[in-house]
Structure 1
């Protein structure tokens, strides 16, 4: 019998929080989420290119981190559900808040925004990761899918 040796990659999962839990901001509203996001958004890109970010939350709504998922052009970007949920699972997030900007400043969701939100909400339900909200942000304000009863 021949001794077979397979070359496969070793997968390691780790998460190293940089702060004590009590030091993390707690998000309890869409306004609070917007403020945390704007603190982490590159102001020079807000009206230049569309970016998609995900805020990771623990069970108590403490922000574990804000992750840059993608950056596109002036009129769109790709938000891959596999990437979004891989990051959330790696950080042991209990919930996420989706966010992207519209460089035009127009805050109304597109049909693609609505479809993506429904898709990610369904995926989160399967994985036990609550999708709390989806914010469309600009320098002058935000649109909350939750506040507008679109979730």
Structure 2
């Protein structure tokens, strides 16, 4: 549905979904927080008026008290608290440093990431770490449990997750509860399948690890990738 056919109060949310958060004006972002306007104004119009009163400056808006905000028609206590809470979240975010992502430089370092999740399990699970071009961790996720076969590891889901996190590389891992680290034919087959699929999407399978409680087997270290 085109945005122009939507009710005024629904447009910021729909615009957010259709075009992304960067497409919204300050008034539209604030309108999403308050949800609705008053009898004479839409949420967006009300927020334009609120922002105009503080010279369209978020810092100035954060200086308003709950009572100050409630002086605007359509802003009750609940909406005023929602605005104040959102601004406080923004203040705390700005005060924090961007966390440094862990970089994986070897199979041993990958093993240390996977070990807490896989080493003590009694059933097989498949996990993946998705990394950027610098091999810095973007996301860690369990992909499946119960086995390591083509039917159990959905390659489409694996690469869908990689694309969602803008990953350029994948470290794959699964455990052998028996303790035997020798790769099975299924292990080799799924490794090849993931590696070949990644070449099409330009997302590299950097390594595939098989873990037991104390050690691991690396396809990359053994030259099997």
User: TM-score scaled to structure 2, two decimals?
Assistant: 0.54
Q: Does 1:91 align with 2:169?
A: no
Higher relative contact order (Cα pairs below 8 Å, separated by 6+ residues): 1
Cα deviation 1:67-119 (Å, max 9, x = unaligned): 100011xxx24111011001001000010011000111110100010011011
CA distance in 1, matches of 2:98, 2:211: 28
Determine the structure 1 residue equivalent to 2:211: 137
Q: Does 1:126 align with 2:204?
A: no
CA distance in 2, matches of 1:42, 1:105: 12
Asked if 2 retains the 8 angstrom alpha-carbon contact of 1:47 and 1:105, the reply is no
Determine the structure 2 residue equivalent to 1:37: 114
Match of 2:185 among 87, 97, 111: 111
Gaps of 5+ in 1: 1-10
Number of equivalences: 130
Asked if 1 retains the 8 angstrom alpha-carbon contact of 2:169 and 2:206, the reply is yes
Structure 2 counterpart SS, 1:59 = coil
Shift of 1:42: 5.7
Asked if 1 retains the 8 angstrom alpha-carbon contact of 2:118 and 2:125, the reply is no
Q: Choose 1 or 2 for highest CA Rg.
A: 2
Q: Report runs of 4+ in structure 1 exceeding 6 Å deviation.
A: none
Structure showing the higher helix proportion among its residues: 2
Shift of 1:36: 1.2
User: TM-score scaled to structure 1, two decimals?
Assistant: 0.80
Asked if 1 retains the 8 angstrom alpha-carbon contact of 2:118 and 2:174, the reply is no
Asked if 2 retains the 8 angstrom alpha-carbon contact of 1:47 and 1:104, the reply is no
Determine the structure 2 residue equivalent to 1:20: 98
Give the RMSD, CA atoms, in angstroms.
2.1
CA distance in 2, matches of 1:135, 1:141: 10
Structure showing the higher strand proportion among its residues: 1
Gaps of 5+ in 2: 1-16, 21-96
